Amino acid sequence: MSNQKQVAHIHPAPPKHWVGDGFYVSSMFNYSQTGRNLDPFLLMDYASPQEFAPNFDRNLRGVGEHPHRGFETVTIAYQGEIEHKDSYGGGGVIGTGGVQWMTAGSGLMHQEYHSENFSKTGGMFEMVQLWVNLPAKDKMTAPKYQAIDSNDIPVVDLNGNGIARIIAGDFDGTHGTASTFSPINLWDIRLNPGGEYSFTIPETHNLLILILDGVAVVNDNKTARPNELISFEKGGDTVKLTANDDAKILILSGEPLNEPVVGYGPFVMNTMDEINQAISDVRAGKFGQIVQ
């Protein structure tokens, strides 16, 4: 007999702010908010749909070279194009529906901009960036970069109620494209008007759901709207979503690491000594440089 995961809270998006000059985001949560059952997720920035005019300047919009250590960044492009480049040789452009999964691990420098093509044409831009913690044993793993094209993400039909794109994890036997260091599910959901589906989530996982578009009823009794994040109590193994209209939803669940989280800006480690070492290593040039 299934046992529903219970909604803890529905969090409205906080005021938006600029990250660099290309990403106008709401930080839906960050690693300093310990009471939301977030583990192993550290941060979520949501750039809701925004129109950008063509930019013929030589300077692309975005964020210049900066360091990371101790976690992974996952960028989902819903609309528009993002170009990534890092000091470990990773890089590429992802378009609508694509995903960039960067493992910072032991440390790298990286940059992310609107692609050259998108800058010239302009258009609607929408993205989610998620920071995923690495287990202590993997925090100093070698950096890597996974460029996941939209066509490479498996799509599962939800019994005629909509579709699920399986970016990471397992969905009723369908395995996601991304490789992860700990058990994580990352599902991009579309529900048709009136569509409903009961999603099975491991009982031990923490669960978070972001409503990007449309209105969804959770477990028949809680209503969530665009730009709202739903957090859940621990326990339970299903969550039912019903769409009032076309709904675009991001479901993320993960096995908690239950390890200390010590973050300082772009570094997330287990101790302050490790943070100080990261700062020292950046200053000493040990994170490398991006070859332009």
Place of tokens 């909604």: 7
* pLDDT number for residue 59: 84
d(C-alpha 175, C-alpha 166), whole Å: 7
pLDDT digits (tens, 9 = 90+) for 193-237: 999 999 999 999 999 999 999 999 999 999 999 999 999 999 999
* pLDDT number for residue 164: 98
Global pTM? 0.96
* pLDDT number for residue 143: 96
Q: What is the average per-residue pLDDT within 256-271?
A: 96
- Residues 282 and 71: beta-carbon distance below 8 Å: no
pLDDT digits (tens, 9 = 90+) for 41-87: 999 999 999 999 998 877 899 999 999 999 999 999 999 999 999 99
pLDDT digits (tens, 9 = 90+) for 141-169: 999 999 999 999 999 999 999 999 999 99
d(C-alpha 61, C-alpha 38), whole Å: 30
d(C-alpha 71, C-alpha 88), whole Å: 15
The separation between the first and the last C-alpha atoms of the chain, rounded to the nearest angstrom, is: 56
* pLDDT number for residue 271: 98
H or E element at residue 229: strand 228-232
Is residue 1 pLDDT above 70, yes or no?
Answer: no
Residue 118 has which token pair?
A: 């998108």
What DSSP line would sit under 95-132, residue for residue?
Answer: -TT-EEEEE-TT-EEEEEEE-HHHHHH-EEEEEEEEEE
